Amino acid sequence: MLNSSALLLKMFPVLALLACLVCLNGCAALAVSLAGAGASAGLSHQITGTAARTFSEPLEKVDSAAQIAARKMQLVVDEVATKANGQQTLARVGELKITISLEPLTGNLTRVDVEARKDFFRLDYATAQEIVAQVERSLYEMSVAEAEASRRSALNEAKYKTPATPAGTPARKTSTTPRRRDSI
């Protein structure tokens, strides 16, 4: 059992903090500046729990990348719904409920918001960040595959295309009869 002076010593930091908060009542700007910019950024992530990234790709391509990422991460997709401002995918993995929102900002600019929620109060920001990272990786792999397919197509086209004769150059005459070579 603690005596009253030992209890007061243990409670002093809490009481000092409460006294400061009472003095700063309503002065959120000062409180945030005291906490620092890094702490406020961490606080906003903790409060929203949403990982977001904007990609310079059309909605359809980002949606394909999100589907690939969901398969890679073995997310169970429950619903894909088209909304007025884009598309929303509801999925789950373990105890987490995941919401992936795609919002087209322009024809070639798409915002991805991912929220991973364990329950009403607990959010899993690390999982949300990883899903965004997997979407980014899938977009990269898709662009590499497209570039490789384009390169192969160009090589095949060049391989089987007959060379054009420049203007003003007479066309080469070919004979239909085979030439006979005499041995020496």
> Whole-model pTM?
0.59
Per-residue pLDDT tens over the stretch 18-33 = 666 656 555 554 444 4
Q: Indicate whether 34 pLDDT > 50.
A: no
| Counted domains in the chain | 1
Domain contains 90? yes
Task: Please tell me the predicted confidence (pLDDT) of residue 39.
Answer: 41
Among 6-15, 36-45, 167-176, name the most confident range: 6-15
What are 175's two structure tokens?
């004979």
80: domain CATH number is 3.30.160.110
Q: What is the mean pLDDT of residues 58-81?
A: 94
Q: What is the DSSP secondary-structure string of the chain? A: ---HHHHHHHHHHHHHHHHHHHHTTT-HHHHHHHH-HHHHHHHHHHHH-EEEEEESS-HHHHHHHHHHHHHHTT-EEEEEEEETTEEEEEEEETTEEEEEEEEEEETTEEEEEEEEESSSS-B-HHHHHHHHHHHHHHHHHHHHHHHHHHHHHHHHHHHHSPPPPPTTSPPPP--SSPPPPPP-
Q: Is residue 5 part of a domain?
A: no
Q: How confident is the model at residue 167 (pLDDT cuts 50, 70, 90)?
A: low
Residue 129's pLDDT is what? 93
Question: Is position 151 within any domain?
Answer: yes
Gap between the Cα atoms of 47 and 123, Å rounded: 9
Res. 36: pLDDT tops 50: no
Q: Domain containing 131: what range?
A: 47-157
Let me know if residue 122 belongs to a domain.
yes
Q: What percent of the chain has pLDDT over 90?
A: 41
Considering the domain boundaries, does residue 127 fall inside one? yes
In a domain, 36, yes or no: no
- Stretch 86-95: mean pLDDT: 92
Look at residue 37 in the predicted model and tell me its pLDDT.
Answer: 43
Q: Higher confidence at residue 103 or residue 36? A: 103
Does 29 fall in a domain?
no
Instruction: Render the burial of 33-44: b for 16+ CB within 10 Å, e for the rest.
Output: eeeeeeeeeeee
pLDDT bracket for residue 158 (50, 70, 90): confident
Q: For residue 131, tell me if it sits in a domain.
A: yes
